[in-house]
Structure 1
Amino acid sequence: MNRSGVPEPKIEFAPKHYICRRASGPLEMDGRVDKPFWAGAEWTDDFVDIEGDSRPKPAKRTRVKMLWDDDCFYFAAELMEDQIWATLTERDSVIFHDNDFEIFIDPDGDTHLYYEFEINALNTVWDLLLVKPYRDGGPPVNGWDIRGLKTAVHIDGELNRPGAANRKWSVEVAMPWASLRECAPYGRPPAAGEFWRVNFSRVEWQVEVQEGTYRKVVNPDTGKPYPEDNWVWSPMGIINMHYPELWGYVVFADENGPESFELPPDERVKWELRKLYYRQRNYFEANGTFAKDEKQLMGDDSWSIVPRIETTGKTFLISAPATDGNGRLYIREDGKLWKE
Protein backbone atom coordinates (compact mmCIF):
# COMPACT_ATOMS: atom_id res chain seq x y z
CA MET A 1 0.00 0.00 0.00
CA ASN A 2 1.27 3.46 -0.94
CA ARG A 3 1.48 5.57 2.23
CA SER A 4 3.34 8.54 0.78
CA GLY A 5 1.88 12.02 0.97
CA VAL A 6 -0.61 13.40 -1.49
CA PRO A 7 -0.41 17.12 -2.34
CA GLU A 8 -3.70 18.91 -1.65
CA PRO A 9 -4.79 20.98 -4.67
CA LYS A 10 -4.90 24.70 -4.10
CA ILE A 11 -8.31 25.33 -5.59
CA GLU A 12 -11.94 25.84 -4.66
CA PHE A 13 -14.08 22.84 -5.58
CA ALA A 14 -15.96 24.14 -8.61
CA PRO A 15 -15.52 21.73 -11.57
CA LYS A 16 -16.90 22.85 -14.93
CA HIS A 17 -19.96 21.15 -16.38
CA TYR A 18 -21.26 20.53 -19.91
CA ILE A 19 -24.64 19.43 -21.25
CA CYS A 20 -23.86 16.80 -23.90
CA ARG A 21 -26.63 16.62 -26.56
CA ARG A 22 -27.48 13.66 -28.76
CA ALA A 23 -26.01 13.62 -32.25
CA SER A 24 -28.55 14.16 -35.01
CA GLY A 25 -26.86 12.05 -37.68
CA PRO A 26 -23.76 10.08 -38.66
CA LEU A 27 -20.28 11.59 -38.41
CA GLU A 28 -18.11 11.64 -41.51
CA MET A 29 -14.72 12.25 -39.97
CA ASP A 30 -12.19 14.58 -41.56
CA GLY A 31 -10.98 16.53 -38.53
CA ARG A 32 -13.01 19.62 -39.42
CA VAL A 33 -15.22 20.86 -36.62
CA ASP A 34 -17.27 23.41 -38.57
CA LYS A 35 -19.55 20.96 -40.38
CA PRO A 36 -23.30 20.42 -39.71
CA PHE A 37 -22.74 17.41 -37.44
CA TRP A 38 -21.35 19.71 -34.74
CA ALA A 39 -23.85 22.56 -35.16
CA GLY A 40 -26.05 21.38 -32.29
CA ALA A 41 -23.18 21.17 -29.77
CA GLU A 42 -22.02 24.12 -27.68
CA TRP A 43 -18.36 24.93 -27.20
CA THR A 44 -16.89 24.44 -23.75
CA ASP A 45 -15.36 27.40 -21.97
CA ASP A 46 -11.91 28.24 -23.28
CA PHE A 47 -9.16 26.26 -21.61
CA VAL A 48 -7.25 27.75 -18.68
CA ASP A 49 -3.94 26.95 -17.03
CA ILE A 50 -3.98 23.64 -15.16
CA GLU A 51 -3.35 25.47 -11.87
CA GLY A 52 -6.32 27.77 -12.40
CA ASP A 53 -6.58 31.50 -11.79
CA SER A 54 -3.22 31.66 -10.01
CA ARG A 55 -1.56 31.40 -13.42
CA PRO A 56 -1.88 33.55 -16.57
CA LYS A 57 -4.46 32.65 -19.18
CA PRO A 58 -3.15 30.51 -22.05
CA ALA A 59 -1.68 32.40 -24.99
CA LYS A 60 -3.54 30.19 -27.50
CA ARG A 61 -7.24 29.34 -27.45
CA THR A 62 -8.45 25.76 -27.00
CA ARG A 63 -12.06 24.59 -26.78
CA VAL A 64 -14.08 21.39 -27.20
CA LYS A 65 -17.51 20.17 -28.30
CA MET A 66 -19.15 16.88 -27.30
CA LEU A 67 -22.07 14.79 -28.59
CA TRP A 68 -23.35 11.26 -28.01
CA ASP A 69 -25.62 8.65 -29.54
CA ASP A 70 -26.36 4.96 -28.98
CA ASP A 71 -22.99 3.96 -30.41
CA CYS A 72 -20.34 6.52 -29.46
CA PHE A 73 -19.10 9.40 -27.36
CA TYR A 74 -17.94 12.12 -29.80
CA PHE A 75 -15.37 14.87 -29.26
CA ALA A 76 -14.27 17.83 -31.38
CA ALA A 77 -11.33 20.00 -30.34
CA GLU A 78 -10.06 23.25 -31.84
CA LEU A 79 -6.49 24.30 -31.01
CA MET A 80 -5.36 27.70 -32.26
CA GLU A 81 -1.71 27.41 -33.23
CA ASP A 82 0.88 29.24 -35.31
CA GLN A 83 3.52 26.50 -34.87
CA ILE A 84 1.96 23.21 -35.96
CA TRP A 85 4.35 20.28 -35.50
CA ALA A 86 4.49 16.64 -34.47
CA THR A 87 7.10 13.89 -34.57
CA LEU A 88 5.63 10.69 -33.09
CA THR A 89 4.10 8.18 -35.50
CA GLU A 90 3.84 4.93 -33.48
CA ARG A 91 0.61 4.18 -31.63
CA ASP A 92 0.93 4.23 -27.83
CA SER A 93 4.04 6.39 -27.94
CA VAL A 94 4.23 8.91 -25.10
CA ILE A 95 2.34 11.47 -27.15
CA PHE A 96 2.74 14.39 -24.72
CA HIS A 97 6.41 14.56 -25.74
CA ASP A 98 4.84 16.37 -28.73
CA ASN A 99 2.23 19.11 -28.49
CA ASP A 100 -0.98 17.19 -28.01
CA PHE A 101 -4.68 17.08 -27.08
CA GLU A 102 -5.81 14.76 -24.28
CA ILE A 103 -9.11 13.32 -23.02
CA PHE A 104 -9.65 11.85 -19.55
CA ILE A 105 -12.81 9.91 -18.64
CA ASP A 106 -13.90 8.44 -15.28
CA PRO A 107 -17.32 6.88 -15.92
CA ASP A 108 -18.36 6.24 -12.30
CA GLY A 109 -16.48 9.04 -10.53
CA ASP A 110 -14.74 6.83 -7.95
CA THR A 111 -11.25 7.88 -9.28
CA HIS A 112 -10.36 4.25 -10.07
CA LEU A 113 -10.53 2.50 -13.46
CA TYR A 114 -10.51 5.48 -15.80
CA TYR A 115 -9.35 6.22 -19.34
CA GLU A 116 -6.71 8.49 -20.85
CA PHE A 117 -6.41 9.34 -24.54
CA GLU A 118 -3.79 11.50 -26.29
CA ILE A 119 -3.43 12.58 -29.92
CA ASN A 120 -0.92 14.73 -31.81
CA ALA A 121 -1.17 16.64 -35.08
CA LEU A 122 -0.01 13.54 -37.01
CA ASN A 123 -3.15 11.73 -35.80
CA THR A 124 -1.01 9.37 -33.69
CA VAL A 125 -2.82 8.21 -30.58
CA TRP A 126 -2.07 6.79 -27.14
CA ASP A 127 -4.98 5.19 -25.31
CA LEU A 128 -4.61 3.58 -21.90
CA LEU A 129 -6.55 2.49 -18.86
CA LEU A 130 -5.52 3.55 -15.37
CA VAL A 131 -6.34 1.05 -12.62
CA LYS A 132 -5.98 3.88 -10.10
CA PRO A 133 -4.11 7.21 -10.03
CA TYR A 134 -0.33 7.14 -9.83
CA ARG A 135 -0.51 8.71 -6.35
CA ASP A 136 -2.34 5.56 -5.20
CA GLY A 137 0.09 3.12 -6.80
CA GLY A 138 -2.02 2.47 -9.86
CA PRO A 139 -0.27 1.14 -12.95
CA PRO A 140 -1.22 2.30 -16.45
CA VAL A 141 -2.43 -0.49 -18.74
CA ASN A 142 -0.79 0.50 -22.02
CA GLY A 143 -1.95 -2.64 -23.77
CA TRP A 144 -5.59 -1.60 -23.42
CA ASP A 145 -7.08 -0.14 -26.61
CA ILE A 146 -10.39 1.54 -27.43
CA ARG A 147 -11.86 -0.98 -29.85
CA GLY A 148 -13.44 0.72 -32.83
CA LEU A 149 -11.81 4.08 -32.05
CA LYS A 150 -11.98 6.58 -34.92
CA THR A 151 -9.95 9.78 -35.10
CA ALA A 152 -9.16 12.49 -37.63
CA VAL A 153 -7.00 15.63 -37.64
CA HIS A 154 -7.34 18.70 -39.85
CA ILE A 155 -4.44 21.14 -40.29
CA ASP A 156 -5.37 24.75 -41.03
CA GLY A 157 -1.87 25.56 -42.28
CA GLU A 158 1.06 23.22 -42.89
CA LEU A 159 2.44 20.56 -40.59
CA ASN A 160 6.14 20.77 -39.67
CA ARG A 161 6.66 23.75 -41.98
CA PRO A 162 8.06 26.78 -40.13
CA GLY A 163 7.00 30.02 -41.74
CA ALA A 164 3.72 28.62 -43.07
CA ALA A 165 0.49 30.56 -42.60
CA ASN A 166 -0.68 28.42 -39.69
CA ARG A 167 -3.93 29.16 -37.91
CA LYS A 168 -5.01 26.04 -36.00
CA TRP A 169 -5.35 22.27 -35.93
CA SER A 170 -8.53 20.45 -35.04
CA VAL A 171 -9.41 16.95 -33.93
CA GLU A 172 -12.42 14.64 -34.12
CA VAL A 173 -12.69 11.53 -31.96
CA ALA A 174 -15.39 8.84 -31.79
CA MET A 175 -15.12 6.42 -28.85
CA PRO A 176 -17.54 3.46 -28.95
CA TRP A 177 -19.50 2.70 -25.80
CA ALA A 178 -18.63 -0.95 -26.44
CA SER A 179 -15.18 -0.11 -25.00
CA LEU A 180 -16.03 2.71 -22.59
CA ARG A 181 -18.72 0.66 -20.84
CA GLU A 182 -15.97 -1.59 -19.45
CA CYS A 183 -15.44 0.70 -16.43
CA ALA A 184 -18.90 2.29 -16.41
CA PRO A 185 -21.56 1.88 -13.71
CA TYR A 186 -23.50 -1.35 -14.28
CA GLY A 187 -21.31 -2.03 -17.34
CA ARG A 188 -23.49 0.02 -19.69
CA PRO A 189 -23.45 3.32 -21.60
CA PRO A 190 -24.85 6.38 -19.82
CA ALA A 191 -28.55 7.19 -19.83
CA ALA A 192 -30.05 10.65 -20.29
CA GLY A 193 -29.74 12.63 -17.08
CA GLU A 194 -26.63 10.79 -15.87
CA PHE A 195 -23.15 12.30 -15.77
CA TRP A 196 -19.58 11.07 -16.21
CA ARG A 197 -16.45 12.84 -14.98
CA VAL A 198 -14.39 14.15 -17.92
CA ASN A 199 -11.52 16.55 -18.49
CA PHE A 200 -9.31 17.69 -21.34
CA SER A 201 -5.71 18.83 -21.49
CA ARG A 202 -3.55 20.49 -24.09
CA VAL A 203 0.23 20.14 -23.81
CA GLU A 204 2.17 23.00 -25.39
CA TRP A 205 5.98 23.09 -25.61
CA GLN A 206 8.14 26.13 -26.27
CA VAL A 207 9.72 25.67 -29.70
CA GLU A 208 12.01 27.63 -31.97
CA VAL A 209 13.19 27.17 -35.56
CA GLN A 210 16.63 25.62 -36.08
CA GLU A 211 17.84 24.71 -39.57
CA GLY A 212 14.30 24.93 -40.92
CA THR A 213 12.84 22.62 -38.24
CA TYR A 214 10.87 23.17 -35.04
CA ARG A 215 12.97 22.29 -31.98
CA LYS A 216 12.09 22.52 -28.29
CA VAL A 217 13.70 25.49 -26.58
CA VAL A 218 16.40 24.26 -24.20
CA ASN A 219 17.07 25.84 -20.82
CA PRO A 220 20.81 26.58 -20.85
CA ASP A 221 21.00 26.05 -17.08
CA THR A 222 19.71 22.48 -17.24
CA GLY A 223 20.42 21.41 -20.80
CA LYS A 224 16.80 20.16 -21.02
CA PRO A 225 13.71 21.65 -22.68
CA TYR A 226 11.72 24.11 -20.63
CA PRO A 227 8.69 22.53 -18.92
CA GLU A 228 5.60 22.30 -21.08
CA ASP A 229 2.46 24.34 -20.51
CA ASN A 230 -0.67 22.41 -19.52
CA TRP A 231 -3.97 24.02 -20.50
CA VAL A 232 -7.20 22.35 -19.40
CA TRP A 233 -10.98 22.67 -19.48
CA SER A 234 -11.64 22.25 -15.74
CA PRO A 235 -8.71 23.55 -13.65
CA MET A 236 -6.93 21.19 -11.25
CA GLY A 237 -5.16 23.52 -8.80
CA ILE A 238 -2.07 21.31 -9.18
CA ILE A 239 0.18 20.31 -12.10
CA ASN A 240 -1.25 16.80 -12.26
CA MET A 241 -4.17 15.60 -14.40
CA HIS A 242 -4.49 12.41 -12.36
CA TYR A 243 -6.82 13.86 -9.74
CA PRO A 244 -10.10 12.63 -11.30
CA GLU A 245 -12.12 14.14 -8.45
CA LEU A 246 -11.44 17.57 -9.99
CA TRP A 247 -12.50 16.77 -13.55
CA GLY A 248 -15.63 18.31 -15.02
CA TYR A 249 -19.17 16.91 -15.10
CA VAL A 250 -20.50 15.89 -18.52
CA VAL A 251 -24.28 15.46 -18.34
CA PHE A 252 -25.88 13.34 -21.07
CA ALA A 253 -29.10 14.83 -22.43
CA ASP A 254 -31.75 13.82 -24.93
CA GLU A 255 -34.68 15.76 -26.40
CA ASN A 256 -36.31 15.80 -22.95
CA GLY A 257 -33.33 17.37 -21.20
CA PRO A 258 -31.86 18.06 -18.79
CA GLU A 259 -31.23 21.66 -19.81
CA SER A 260 -29.06 22.60 -16.84
CA PHE A 261 -26.89 21.04 -14.15
CA GLU A 262 -26.89 21.50 -10.41
CA LEU A 263 -24.17 19.82 -8.37
CA PRO A 264 -25.75 16.89 -6.47
CA PRO A 265 -25.31 17.40 -2.70
CA ASP A 266 -23.43 14.12 -2.30
CA GLU A 267 -20.72 15.43 -4.64
CA ARG A 268 -19.86 18.05 -2.03
CA VAL A 269 -19.69 15.32 0.64
CA LYS A 270 -17.36 13.33 -1.63
CA TRP A 271 -15.09 16.36 -1.98
CA GLU A 272 -14.85 16.86 1.78
CA LEU A 273 -14.04 13.17 2.22
CA ARG A 274 -11.41 13.59 -0.47
CA LYS A 275 -9.79 16.46 1.42
CA LEU A 276 -9.63 14.28 4.51
CA TYR A 277 -8.02 11.56 2.41
CA TYR A 278 -5.30 14.00 1.28
CA ARG A 279 -4.66 15.06 4.85
CA GLN A 280 -4.70 11.53 6.25
CA ARG A 281 -2.10 10.43 3.71
CA ASN A 282 0.01 13.50 4.51
CA TYR A 283 -0.42 12.92 8.26
CA PHE A 284 0.98 9.41 7.87
CA GLU A 285 3.97 10.65 5.90
CA ALA A 286 4.76 13.14 8.66
CA ASN A 287 4.00 10.93 11.69
CA GLY A 288 4.29 7.30 10.62
CA THR A 289 0.75 6.56 11.74
CA PHE A 290 -2.77 7.54 10.70
CA ALA A 291 -4.78 10.12 12.62
CA LYS A 292 -7.58 8.57 14.66
CA ASP A 293 -9.33 11.82 15.57
CA GLU A 294 -10.97 13.87 12.80
CA LYS A 295 -9.88 17.08 14.55
CA GLN A 296 -6.28 16.21 13.70
CA LEU A 297 -7.22 16.49 10.01
CA MET A 298 -10.00 19.07 9.87
CA GLY A 299 -8.21 21.97 11.53
CA ASP A 300 -10.06 25.27 11.55
CA ASP A 301 -11.64 24.84 8.10
CA SER A 302 -15.40 24.94 7.64
CA TRP A 303 -16.94 21.50 7.00
CA SER A 304 -20.45 20.31 6.23
CA ILE A 305 -19.83 16.70 7.27
CA VAL A 306 -19.26 14.90 10.56
CA PRO A 307 -16.82 12.17 9.54
CA ARG A 308 -16.07 8.84 11.15
CA ILE A 309 -12.49 7.53 10.98
CA GLU A 310 -11.38 3.90 11.33
CA THR A 311 -7.71 2.94 11.13
CA THR A 312 -5.32 0.04 11.33
CA GLY A 313 -1.56 0.18 11.12
CA LYS A 314 -1.69 0.13 7.31
CA THR A 315 -5.18 1.25 6.31
CA PHE A 316 -7.86 3.82 7.01
CA LEU A 317 -11.54 4.28 6.25
CA ILE A 318 -13.26 7.65 6.48
CA SER A 319 -17.02 7.95 6.05
CA ALA A 320 -19.88 10.42 6.32
CA PRO A 321 -23.67 10.15 5.96
CA ALA A 322 -25.16 10.60 2.49
CA THR A 323 -27.19 13.78 2.20
CA ASP A 324 -30.47 11.93 1.66
CA GLY A 325 -29.99 10.01 4.90
CA ASN A 326 -29.82 6.74 2.98
CA GLY A 327 -26.46 5.11 3.59
CA ARG A 328 -22.92 6.43 3.96
CA LEU A 329 -20.12 7.50 1.65
CA TYR A 330 -16.70 5.94 2.23
CA ILE A 331 -13.12 6.63 1.17
CA ARG A 332 -10.10 4.44 1.91
CA GLU A 333 -6.32 4.79 1.89
CA ASP A 334 -5.92 4.18 -1.86
CA GLY A 335 -8.49 6.85 -2.73
CA LYS A 336 -11.34 4.52 -3.69
CA LEU A 337 -14.67 6.22 -2.91
CA TRP A 338 -18.08 4.52 -2.81
CA LYS A 339 -21.54 4.50 -1.19
CA GLU A 340 -23.18 1.80 0.93
Structure 2
Amino acid sequence: MEWDTRSSEGKISKLKDAAGKDMPEHNWVWSPQGVVNMHYPERWGYLQFSRQVNTVFRLPYAELQKRYLWLVYYRQKQYREKFGRYATTLAELKITSQVTLENQVNQLQLEATPRQFTATITAPNTPAIRLNDEGLLTYTKP
Protein backbone atom coordinates (compact mmCIF):
# COMPACT_ATOMS: atom_id res chain seq x y z
CA MET A 1 0.00 0.00 0.00
CA GLU A 2 1.06 3.55 -0.53
CA TRP A 3 0.88 5.64 2.63
CA ASP A 4 0.92 9.38 2.98
CA THR A 5 2.46 10.69 6.19
CA ARG A 6 2.02 14.37 5.26
CA SER A 7 -1.35 15.02 6.87
CA SER A 8 -1.59 18.22 8.89
CA GLU A 9 -2.80 16.29 11.95
CA GLY A 10 0.26 14.04 11.87
CA LYS A 11 -1.88 11.01 11.03
CA ILE A 12 -0.80 8.27 8.67
CA SER A 13 -3.34 7.57 5.95
CA LYS A 14 -3.54 5.82 2.62
CA LEU A 15 -2.85 7.94 -0.46
CA LYS A 16 -5.92 9.07 -2.38
CA ASP A 17 -6.34 9.93 -6.04
CA ALA A 18 -7.81 13.22 -7.36
CA ALA A 19 -11.34 11.88 -6.82
CA GLY A 20 -10.60 11.03 -3.19
CA LYS A 21 -10.53 7.26 -3.69
CA ASP A 22 -7.81 5.05 -2.21
CA MET A 23 -4.86 4.52 -4.53
CA PRO A 24 -4.24 0.89 -5.59
CA GLU A 25 -1.59 -1.21 -3.87
CA HIS A 26 1.77 -1.57 -5.58
CA ASN A 27 2.87 -5.04 -4.57
CA TRP A 28 6.36 -6.03 -5.56
CA VAL A 29 8.67 -8.79 -4.49
CA TRP A 30 11.95 -10.00 -5.92
CA SER A 31 10.46 -13.41 -6.78
CA PRO A 32 6.99 -13.99 -8.24
CA GLN A 33 4.57 -15.68 -5.82
CA GLY A 34 1.54 -16.10 -8.03
CA VAL A 35 -0.74 -14.46 -5.44
CA VAL A 36 -0.94 -10.99 -3.94
CA ASN A 37 -0.37 -12.17 -0.38
CA MET A 38 2.95 -12.25 1.47
CA HIS A 39 1.56 -14.80 3.94
CA TYR A 40 2.43 -17.76 1.71
CA PRO A 41 5.97 -18.74 2.75
CA GLU A 42 5.75 -21.86 0.59
CA ARG A 43 5.72 -19.51 -2.41
CA TRP A 44 8.66 -17.36 -1.39
CA GLY A 45 11.81 -17.43 -3.49
CA TYR A 46 15.20 -18.84 -2.53
CA LEU A 47 18.40 -16.91 -2.18
CA GLN A 48 21.84 -18.48 -2.28
CA PHE A 49 25.05 -16.71 -1.36
CA SER A 50 28.32 -17.99 -2.77
CA ARG A 51 31.89 -16.79 -3.06
CA GLN A 52 32.37 -18.99 -6.12
CA VAL A 53 31.70 -17.71 -9.62
CA ASN A 54 29.00 -19.50 -11.66
CA THR A 55 27.58 -21.40 -8.72
CA VAL A 56 24.46 -23.28 -9.76
CA PHE A 57 21.56 -23.17 -7.34
CA ARG A 58 20.11 -26.52 -6.40
CA LEU A 59 16.84 -26.67 -4.54
CA PRO A 60 17.17 -28.79 -1.39
CA TYR A 61 15.50 -32.18 -1.72
CA ALA A 62 13.13 -31.47 1.17
CA GLU A 63 11.84 -28.40 -0.68
CA LEU A 64 10.97 -30.57 -3.69
CA GLN A 65 9.09 -32.90 -1.36
CA LYS A 66 7.22 -30.04 0.31
CA ARG A 67 5.76 -28.98 -3.03
CA TYR A 68 3.66 -32.16 -3.00
CA LEU A 69 2.55 -31.61 0.56
CA TRP A 70 1.38 -28.11 -0.37
CA LEU A 71 -0.47 -29.62 -3.34
CA VAL A 72 -2.36 -31.84 -0.90
CA TYR A 73 -2.97 -28.84 1.37
CA TYR A 74 -4.48 -26.63 -1.35
CA ARG A 75 -6.57 -29.44 -2.81
CA GLN A 76 -7.87 -30.26 0.65
CA LYS A 77 -8.90 -26.64 1.18
CA GLN A 78 -10.75 -26.66 -2.17
CA TYR A 79 -12.36 -29.99 -1.36
CA ARG A 80 -13.58 -28.76 2.02
CA GLU A 81 -14.98 -25.60 0.44
CA LYS A 82 -16.95 -27.73 -2.01
CA PHE A 83 -18.06 -30.64 0.22
CA GLY A 84 -17.93 -29.22 3.76
CA ARG A 85 -15.31 -31.74 4.92
CA TYR A 86 -11.78 -32.84 4.14
CA ALA A 87 -11.12 -35.73 1.77
CA THR A 88 -10.04 -38.96 3.48
CA THR A 89 -8.01 -40.34 0.55
CA LEU A 90 -5.50 -38.97 -1.91
CA ALA A 91 -7.60 -40.46 -4.71
CA GLU A 92 -10.46 -38.08 -3.81
CA LEU A 93 -7.98 -35.24 -4.36
CA LYS A 94 -6.76 -36.78 -7.66
CA ILE A 95 -3.22 -37.12 -6.27
CA THR A 96 -1.15 -40.28 -6.63
CA SER A 97 0.46 -41.80 -3.56
CA GLN A 98 3.87 -42.28 -5.21
CA VAL A 99 5.97 -39.41 -6.50
CA THR A 100 9.39 -39.73 -8.09
CA LEU A 101 11.81 -36.90 -7.34
CA GLU A 102 15.38 -36.96 -8.62
CA ASN A 103 15.02 -40.68 -9.42
CA GLN A 104 13.88 -41.50 -5.89
CA VAL A 105 10.41 -42.82 -5.11
CA ASN A 106 8.55 -40.90 -2.42
CA GLN A 107 5.41 -42.11 -0.67
CA LEU A 108 2.57 -39.70 0.10
CA GLN A 109 0.13 -40.57 2.88
CA LEU A 110 -3.01 -38.84 4.07
CA GLU A 111 -4.70 -39.14 7.44
CA ALA A 112 -7.95 -37.20 7.66
CA THR A 113 -11.17 -36.65 9.52
CA PRO A 114 -13.93 -34.33 8.34
CA ARG A 115 -12.31 -31.46 10.29
CA GLN A 116 -8.55 -31.99 10.06
CA PHE A 117 -5.82 -33.73 8.09
CA THR A 118 -2.13 -34.53 8.02
CA ALA A 119 -0.23 -35.30 4.83
CA THR A 120 3.14 -37.05 5.04
CA ILE A 121 5.85 -37.60 2.45
CA THR A 122 8.60 -40.15 2.96
CA ALA A 123 11.59 -41.37 0.99
CA PRO A 124 14.43 -43.74 1.94
CA ASN A 125 17.16 -42.15 4.09
CA THR A 126 15.42 -38.79 4.42
CA PRO A 127 13.34 -37.33 7.23
CA ALA A 128 9.60 -37.74 6.85
CA ILE A 129 7.86 -34.41 6.40
CA ARG A 130 4.33 -33.76 7.62
CA LEU A 131 1.95 -30.91 6.84
CA ASN A 132 -1.33 -30.45 8.67
CA ASP A 133 -4.54 -28.58 7.95
CA GLU A 134 -3.13 -25.47 9.68
CA GLY A 135 -0.09 -25.36 7.39
CA LEU A 136 2.32 -26.59 10.10
CA LEU A 137 5.34 -28.48 8.75
CA THR A 138 7.18 -30.98 10.96
CA TYR A 139 10.08 -33.34 10.33
CA THR A 140 10.85 -36.77 11.77
CA LYS A 141 14.15 -38.63 11.61
CA PRO A 142 14.48 -41.46 9.07
In the alignment, what sits opposite 1:314?
115
Q: Distance in 1 between matches of 2:138 and 2:111?
A: 16
TM-superposed deviation, 1:329: 1.1
**Comparing both structures, which one devotes a greater share of its residues to helix?**
2
TM-superposed deviation, 1:319: 0.6
Give, as a single letter, the amino acid of the residue that structure 2 aligns with 1:298. K
Change (3 A) 1:299 1:320: closer
2:40 is aligned with 1:237: no
Q: Distance in 1 between matches of 2:88 and 2:66?
A: 20
In the alignment, what sits opposite 1:282?
78
In the alignment, what sits opposite 1:336?
136
Change (3 A) 1:224 1:329: same
TM-superposed deviation, 1:278: 1.0
Give deviations 1:243-280, integer Å, cap 9, x for gaps.
Answer: 01111212344x57994321122211101111210111
Specify which structure has the bigger relative contact order, considering alpha-carbon pairs within 8 angstroms and separated by 6 or more residues: 1
In the alignment, what sits opposite 1:246?
43
2:97 is aligned with 1:296: no
Q: Distance in 2 between matches of 1:258 and 1:315?
A: 45
Q: TM-score, normalised by structure 1?
A: 0.33
Give deviations 1:150-189, integer Å, cap 9, x for gaps.
Answer: xxxxxxxxxxxxxxxxxxxxxxxxxxxxxxxxxxxxxxxx
**In the alignment, is the contact (CA less than 8 A) between 1:276 and 1:298 conserved in 2?**
no
In the alignment, what sits opposite 1:140?
none
TM-superposed deviation, 1:334: 0.5
Calculate the aligned-residue CA RMSD, in Å: 3.2
2:5 is aligned with 1:87: yes
Change (3 A) 1:321 1:258: farther
Q: Distance in 2 between matches of 1:227 and 1:256?
A: 42
Q: TM-score, normalised by structure 2?
A: 0.72
Give, as a single letter, the amino acid of the residue that structure 2 aligns with 1:268. L
Secondary structure, counterpart of 2:67 in structure 1: helix
Give unmatched runs, 5+ long, in structure 2.
101-105
2:139 is aligned with 1:327: no
2:25 is aligned with 1:225: no
Runs in 1 of length 4+ with deviation above 3 angstroms?
255-260, 303-306
Secondary structure, counterpart of 2:27 in structure 1: strand
Aligned residues between the structures? 128
**In the alignment, is the contact (CA less than 8 A) between 2:72 and 2:95 conserved in 1?**
no
**In the alignment, is the contact (CA less than 8 A) between 1:251 and 1:261 conserved in 2?**
yes
